[in-house]
Amino acid sequence: MSEIATVERLEVRGAKGQWWRSAVIYQIYPRSFADSNGDGIGDLGGVRAHLDHLAGLGVDAVWFNPWYASPQADAGYDVADYRAIDPVFGTLTEAEELIREAHALGIRVIVDVVPNHCSTAHPWFVEALHGGPGCTTRDLFWFRPGRGASGELPPNDWQSIFGGPAWTRTTGPEGTPGDWYLHLFAPEQPDLNWDNPKVREEFEDVLRFWFDRGTDGIRIDSAALLMKDCALADFDPADPPLPHPYEDRDEVHHIYRAWRTIADSYPEPRALIGEVWLPDAQRFAAYLREDEIHTAFNFAFLGCPWDAATLRAVIDETLAVHAPVDAPATWVLSNHDVPRHVTRYGRADTSFTLDYRQLGAPTDHALGRRRARAAVLLNLALPGTVYLYQGEELGLAEVEDIPDAMRQDPMFFRTAGENPGRDGCRVPIPWSGNTPPYGFSPPGATGQPWLPQPAGWRDLTVEAQSGNPDSMLELYRRALAYRRRQPALSDATFSWLPGPDAVLVFSRGPDGAFVCVVNVSDHPVALPVHGTIVATSDPMEHDRLPPDTAAWIAIR
């Protein structure tokens, strides 16, 4: 089956024939999705065995977190070979099979590209290290002499996003200390020098490599961090030229223009999806200009508290930011870097920022799940692309009691445990059975799941929830099926309608054929419109919509 023939069979819905403008994209964290060979780590065989779950759920595409050859110092975001699959996950042949099988089920495939940094095990870095000062391969990275009398201090005061200094000192063959290299994340993730044309050529080739294998798009990791100010000046918080000296430099846009040309050169253009984590709305929108990337994650929505006025403000701002550049908005409640939203919504303070994870805060999981049910109906009713993170369709909560000895996230280690990190949202997901590994690994597996699963997940497995109309899984299935059928939900129109206090009411479609009502108040309300109720997140109470509940209404 040729790659182009396969892609052409996929349905193109949404405005402008660009499927990503209204797609539902399911995020697969390969380590934690399903383990086919019993070593306790998810793999491509596990994904292939469960593609029916994704087809049954009704998603349009899947995004894979990195599956490349990697020492796994940051769960695969430390890439040693961008063209090879890590043996723990499988082989390139299996990846190609998986892409074909997903396409045959009408599911598109997005891979994660990590351009800001590679791994210390990448051949370039190995060569740069061995070549010593003066070796030209060092110019692919940021090697610098240290400060202080004998170079014992880092070249500047930048801090790693994972904690601690952003520089690590090299050691020569005889153990003599040498130059330092820059890493905005873990020391195992040296930053690449994007001023060097060889780095640019390499990544353009990596893009073609995956597009030629039929992948339908890429998710660009840390997309705003690539270009550094080569002066490498200390960070001056009183006078930041930009959010950080390593963030959002103008030159970065040249890179994405070149990538866009490559993405557009395919018979069906490939999608460019950016992880652009910038607080400034205008700077964010600049990445979504006509000849740059297509869409970017909506971190404002991801961290938005469960509060009507704030939700409304974030929705308004999101639509306002995307409109001038004619890019589709995106909506996301959870991902592999943030506490699961069932937990977030079950706390007194339902907001989230990267520095404010509130792990261990008292949590009412029943309330969190109720809000999560309402939130997904809100999410799926908004105009644009929706991202779902594996396990949210099961209503999984953050796992907060992982013993320190079993934690894996470098963030935990680099902050000496002060920040517990991201392991709690990465626990292998439950498929079936009453006890761990809940079908994650096959019977007779030799390895335990790489992070321990809670004892109480028996009722949250795919098996336990399937066929139970009250389950989170069946709510997701119903909602996704309806979203596909309702044309008003795949165009870009959106209007607020009047409603009671703390109740979000909006219509979709040019003639307002669809209305979503979300009751974020603390009391039941009458529905503010007449029509046919096609879905509710929880049952109505005597014709009233209870608190923390959403309803979908077909008007005609």
Which residues of the chain form contacts with ligand NOJ (CB under 6 A)? Answer: 74, 77, 114, 185, 221-222, 275, 336-337
Residues 226, 277: Cα–Cα separation, whole Å: 12
Q: Which residues, in sequence order, are CB contacts of 316 under 8 Å at separation 6+? A: none
Q: Indicate if 275 belongs to the active site.
A: yes
Q: Which is catalytic among the residues 221, 292, 337, 392?
A: 221
Three-state SS annotation for 429-461: CCCCCCCCCCCCCCCCCCCCCCCCCCHHHHHHC
Q: Which is nearer to Ca ion, 86 or 398 (CB)?
A: 86
Nearest to 25 by CA among 390, 321, 314: 390
Closest to ligand NOJ by CB, 274 or 436: 274
Q: What's the closest the beta carbon of residue 290 comes to ligand NOJ, in angstroms?
A: 26
- SS3 for 261? helix
Which of ligand NOJ, Ca ion, none sits in contact with 37, Cβ below 5 to 8 A by type?
A: Ca ion
Token representation of residue 318: 């999101």
Q: Which of 54, 25, 65, 107 is nearest to 380 (CA)?
A: 25
- What is the rounded distance in angstroms from the CA atom of residue 32 to the CA atom of residue 47? 10
All residues at 6 or more sequence positions from 172 whose CB lies less than 8 Å from its CB, including other chains: 132, 178
The binding site for Ca ion (CB under 5 A) comprises 35, 37, 39, 41, 43
Q: Is the peptide bond before 154 cis (omega within 30 degrees of 0)?
A: no
Residue closer to ligand NOJ by CB (options 161, 342) is 161
Which phi and psi angles does 194 have, rounded to 5°?
-80, 0
DSSP 451-497: SPPPGGGGGGSHHHHTT-TTSHHHHHHHHHHHHHH-GGGGSS-EEE-
CB of 37 to Ca ion, least distance (A): 4
Q: Minimum Å distance from CB 284 to ligand NOJ?
A: 16
Q: In angstroms, what is the C-alpha Rg of the chain?
A: 24
CB of 15 to ligand NOJ, least distance (A): 28
Specify the residue, 74 or 538, whose C-beta has the smaller distance to ligand NOJ.
74
Measure the CA dihedral 447/452/456/462, to 10°. Answer: -60
| 88 or 311: CB nearest ligand NOJ | 88
Question: Which of Ca ion, ligand NOJ, none binds 41 (CB below 5-8 Å, type-dependent)?
Answer: Ca ion
DSSP label at 162? Answer: T
| Angle in degrees, CA 367, 307, 303, rounded to 5 | 85
State the minimum distance, in angstroms, from the CB of residue 212 to ligand NOJ: 24
Query: How near is the Cβ of 373 to ligand NOJ at its closest, in Å?
Result: 26
- In the complex, what is the shortest distance from the CB of residue 336 to ligand NOJ, in angstroms, rounded to a whole number? 6
- Chain residue whose CB lies nearest ligand NOJ: 77
DSSP state of 16: G
How many CB atoms within 10 Å of residue 427?
25
> Do residues 296 and 284 touch, judged by C-beta distance below 8 A?
yes
The site partner of 64 among ligand NOJ, Ca ion, none (C-beta below 5 to 8 Å per kind) is: none
Per-residue DSSP letters for 343-405?
HHTTSSS---BTTB--TT----HHHHHHHHHHHHHHHHHSSSEEEEETTGGGTPPP-----GG
Q: What pairs with residue 552 in β-bridges?
A: 516, 535
Q: Nearest distance from residue 77's CB to ligand NOJ, in Å?
A: 3
Cβ closer to ligand NOJ: 26 or 77? Answer: 77
Contact 535, 482 (CB under 8 A): yes
Comparing CB distances to Ca ion, the nearer of 37 and 351 is: 37
C-alpha closest to that of 412 among 162, 177, 97: 162
- Closest separation between CB of residue 163 and ligand NOJ, Å? 12
Q: For ligand NOJ, which is the closer residue by CB, 36 or 222? A: 222
- The single residue of 94, 112, 275, 392 carrying the catalytic annotation is 275
Q: By C-beta, is 49 or 359 nearer to Ca ion?
A: 49
Binding partner of residue 43 among ligand NOJ, Ca ion, none, CB cut-off 5 to 8 Å per kind:
Ca ion
Choose from Ca ion, ligand NOJ, none: what does 216 bind? Cβ within 5-8 Å by kind: none
User: Which residues are marked as active site?
Assistant: 221, 275
